[in-house]
Amino acid sequence: QDVDDLIRRLPKTELHLHIEGTLEPEMMFALAQRNGISLPYASVEALRAAYDFSNLQSFLDLYYAGAGVLQTRQDFYELTRAYLQRAHADNVVHVEIFFDPQTHTARGIPFATVLDGIRDALDEAGCTWGMSSRLILSFLRHLSEDEGFATLAEALPHLDRIDGFGLDSSELGHPPSKFAMLFARCHELGKPCVAHAGEEGPPEYVWEALELLKVCRIDHGVRSLEDPALVKRLAEGAVPLTVCPLSNVRLKVVDDLARHNLRQLLQAGLKAMVNSDDPAYFGGYLNANLLACRQSLDLSADEVVTLVNNSFEASWLPDVDKQRWL
Ligand code: HPA
Ligand code: ZN
């Protein structure tokens, strides 16, 4: 299939990826053993069988529990290195990845341990493959804004190694407005901001992310089509939507990939693209997401190129570097 070859061959970028969501069951078991942690699953197969989610929260419960095996700088390095190897194999040349420091500092793991390990692998991928990267500190929205401020205080000594800020975790009941002051502070620090919105939450949350958090991208945003005024705003502002198709299917945001609104988003003039979100939990990395969309939605070569170009354009690469890939 020509389009499938195109998908594999094209240089690509990934803009919506949670590094904790790349923890494969095999590595979870290996790290649990190395760190003397017992997992409530008998085997890798039993763990994988538990990846049968009914919504975002049922996934998050497992995702936060799984991250408990990550303890040392070496653990975070190995996790990130394994992801970057898979991304490189998919011809991904640039990544902008999220990390959730609160998931780890709440367990007594120092902020610097997490950051140093992830950065070791990102720097190595830059040296080895010329892969460029950005690292996005994502706040957990089920926690309070004060806890977000405490995390930001821990990040301050490391701001030279943090490229932007994000907002993730349980969306319903935790609107962007809850974090308006925190994101205002993030902007004062001169960093770009993004937020998950319109995954399970209503279009109103996308509006809040734009107007109150002043984000430069919306993570997911697939529910935006429910509000024509919002579609107009996103189109006029050329606001990128980092859509994650396999995630949407596995978390029951859409009932079937064949009914995903990816094409409708593009046809509405929105800067949508494809990303992998938490690939170890959702059944595939970037190429797998694009290939599944090609198959279920019969994506054309032009649509694939548009999705990939939208992703480079939405990235935080300087214009000269974008030109290399567009
Ligand atoms: N949505 C919200 N929070 C998350 C996700 C997601 O898809 N993945 C990891 N944390
Ligand atoms: Zn996400």
Residues belonging to the active site = 199
Tell me, what's the pLDDT at 326?
Answer: 87
User: Using a CB cutoff of 8 Å and minimum separation of 24, what contacts does 56-65 make?
Assistant: 56/170, 56/171, 56/172, 56/199, 56/200, 56/251, 56/253, 57/170, 59/250, 59/251, 59/278, 59/281, 60/169, 60/170, 62/281, 63/18, 63/20, 63/21, 63/278, 63/281, 64/103
Tell me, what's the pLDDT at 231?
Answer: 98
Q: How far is the CA of 197 from the centre of ligand 2 (A)?
A: 10
Residue 279 has pLDDT above 90, yes or no: yes
Determine the topology of domain 2-321 in CATH: TIM Barrel (3.20.20)
Q: Where are the domains of the chain?
A: 2-321
Q: Which mutation among 170, 199, 223 tests ligand 1's pocket best, with the greatest number of atoms within 8 A of CB?
A: 199
Which ipTM value was assigned to this complex?
Answer: 0.97
- Tell me the average pLDDT of the chain: 98
Residue 169 Cβ inside 6 Å of ligand 1? The answer reads yes
Ligand 1 atom closest to the Cα of residue 20 is: 9
What percent of the chain clears pLDDT 90, i.e. is strictly above it?
99
Task: Tell me the per-residue pLDDT of 177-219, one tens digit each, with 9 for 90 and over.
Answer: 999 999 999 999 999 999 999 999 999 999 999 999 999 999 9
Tell me, what's the pLDDT at 207?
Answer: 99
Residue 219 Cβ inside 6 Å of ligand 1? The answer reads no
Ligand 1 atom closest to the Cα of residue 171 is: 2
Q: How far is the CA of 55 from the centre of ligand 1 (A)?
A: 11
Confidence band, pLDDT 50/70/90 cuts, at residue 1: confident
pTM: 0.98
Q: How far is the CA of 196 from the centre of ligand 1 (A)?
A: 8
Residue 20 Cβ inside 6 Å of ligand 1? The answer reads no
Residue 278 marked as a ligand binder: yes
Task: Tell me the per-residue pLDDT of 221-262, one tens digit each, with 9 for 90 and over.
Answer: 999 999 999 999 999 999 999 999 999 999 999 999 999 999
Q: Taking Cα atoms as reference points, which of 248, 236, 250 lies closest to residue 199?
A: 248
Residue 294 Cβ inside 6 Å of ligand 1? The answer reads no
